[in-house]
Chain A
Amino acid sequence: MSAVLHAHPESGPALGIEEGKPRRVLSEAGMRGRWWRFVLILAITAVVLVPILVTVILAFTPGPNSTATGLTFENLSNVFSKTLAATWLKNSLITTLATVLVSVAVAAPAGYVLSRGRSKAVSGYSLLLFVMQSLPIITSVVPLFILFAGMGLVDNLMGLTIIYVGSTMTVATWMMAAYFDSIPISLEEASWIDGCSVFGSFTKVVLRNSLPGVLSTAIFAFLLAWNDYLVAIVFLRSNEIFTLPMGVQSFFQQNATDWTSVMALAVVMMLPPVIVFATLNKYFSVGGIGGSLAGR
């Protein structure tokens, strides 16, 4: 870093003399600060990303029994041919997509009521949702385990989905309500005067203008369902019902961990959230309830 400090006084005066204006000298100091901060943030980012880089590198490094050299897709193909990775991926995708769809379908209408309703009951419900989202899932997991065991919903993707929907809907409802707050009610009023029903104006006027809110909520539900481990470890028992988090963890139950295979599957698991994040970056809201609490 001291190298950076020394580099500038050398190049600085030359430019300053060339221009010979105080304004230029000022921006020179600004430039130096900019590059300083650039180097600092570059160093921090590099350190922060080490675990992620390690995952990606190991995933494409030849395994202990491999004859391949350089980077290889061998681990990935091994994971899919020798383990149930394809099944786990399918299970995770089904559960997550179902959670996203049902969460939004439940949270959007409820969020609309929270945004437009002004009775005591509505604000009481809003408080109830806030309290429920702050409770540890472990409390409801044990009773639900017993309830679901009686209904054949343990070791079952449907049972898993129901719990995911239940645990996303509190925050999802808040997020939808916060978004609906930003849609002027004059749009609905105009449609009521045109003879539209309250429900009609909700679906035709409000929902139609709420794509960003719906996307943020969907991303939130997606991440929660895709990343969950606690509910999965309690409710899933058999290998072929595992979701990806359980699949990745199952590698550690063997005597010697095959790191390259674990990392190959880990890359498969982190790809969907990273892709969603990269493409829908601007709808990515701050941990769900953060944005909605700040906004409401």
Chain B
Amino acid sequence: MSSTTAQSGLARARRGVAPGGSGTLPGKRKSKLSAQATRTFFWLLLPSVVLLVLIHGYPLVYAAVQATHDGNLLQTGNFIGGENFATVLTSPAFWKAAQFTLWFTIVGVFGSWLVGLGLALLLRTKIPAGNTFKVLLLLPWVVPIVVSSTAWNWLVATPDSLIPSMFRNLGLGTPLFLADPTLASITVMVFKVWVSFPFMMMMTSAALASVDETVYEAASMDGASRWQQFTQITLPLIARSTYISWILMTIFCVNDFPTIYLLTGGGPVSATTSLVVLAYRTVFQDFATGPGVAIAFLMTMTLVVISVILYRQIRKSSVE
């Protein structure tokens, strides 16, 4: 978005005159104002900090305690060091869930990106009623997962559901979309792409809207083909937005619970159990609090490291 670069430029320029900064205000007023600003800022930020500590900080610390104790949902139990982590890291179920999470994330991110990019490119051209389609195509993202998973269940769950019946009538056999392990994994991933592509479409559309059309005129005068224009001009120009959308979708996919749990419950035979589903089941169905929290904690640590690195990179790319 050209307004984006203008905006961040403005933001930077503005910071020079922000209260407490090297502003244009006359000296005496400035120092008085900057002291006042610091105090006001403190009070404005306080509720947010309190909530962050209560809802995020405290649970993280307590999760670390639980992960190293043999307690349950009622009491903390005894300190057992890294035993829970050892249990988790040596269990095949954990690695199977990690593997599924990885595939689910890869397909979720790039599948929804490809579909979203294709539709964004299509909708960018002049199409009758283009805006109506744009709005309609966002519905999978807007409709609650509880509702859409119910509809998907109705469509594919049993051999007599609509879509398996259609396959049967076409003489293609009766696929068991949610009962066959491989097919269930694929179905969950397709469902995730269905839910997520509108997000990618919106991000890409916003980025494409800022690309200056005259660039393409110049390129086609120089004899660049459509494909060359796409790979050499369009993709590099929307790279930053693409990068951000990948990052966010990765986080959405890794942390996803309802998309998987509501469609398959993690089954059949744990074929679609992701790490979050595994952590949930371990704590609330097997009542093994320590190992369950250890799984969540391992995910958390990985995501902290990844998100700090990615945040730095986003910040760097916005300064350049």
Contacts and interface: CB of A to CB of B under 8 A. Distances in A.
B126 to A, nearest CB: 6
A54 B154 contact: yes
A113 B44 contact: yes
Contact of B40 (A35, A118, A189, A197): A197
Contact of A185 (B17, B62, B135): B17
A16 to B, nearest CB: 20
Interface residues on A, range: 35 or more
B303 A273 contact: no
A134 B302 CA distance: 11
A139 interface: yes
Contacts of B235: none
A130 B307 contact: yes
A84 interface: no
Interface string B147-185: 110111011000000100000000000000000000000
A228 to B, nearest CB: 8
B284 interface: yes
Contact of B262 (A58, A141, A229, A293): A229
A128 interface: yes
B304 A131 contact: yes
Contacts of A295: 1, 4, 7-8
A26 interface: no
B106 interface: no
B73 to A, nearest CB: 6
19 contacts: A38-B129, A41-B130, A54-B154, A109-B44, A110-B45, A131-B304, A135-B300, A137-B255, A138-B279, A166-B52, A169-B52, A185-B14, A202-B44, A270-B144, A286-B199, A293-B244, A294-B207, A295-B4, A295-B7
Contact of A119 (B20, B55, B142, B300): B20
Contacts of A296: 8, 11, 318
A287 B19 contact: no
B81 interface: no
Contacts of A286: 199, 202-203, 206
A185 B44 contact: no
A253 B128 CA distance: 46
Contacts of A149: 73
Interface in A113-152: 113, 115-119, 122, 125, 127-147, 149
A7 B14 CA distance: 58
Contacts of A4: none
Contact of B254 (A38, A136, A192): A136
Q: Which of B129, B142, B150, B261 has the most CB of A within 10 A?
A: B150
A109 B20 contact: no
Interface in A32-59: 33-35, 37-38, 40-42, 44-45, 48-52, 54-55, 58
Interface in B177-223: 194, 199, 202-203, 206-207
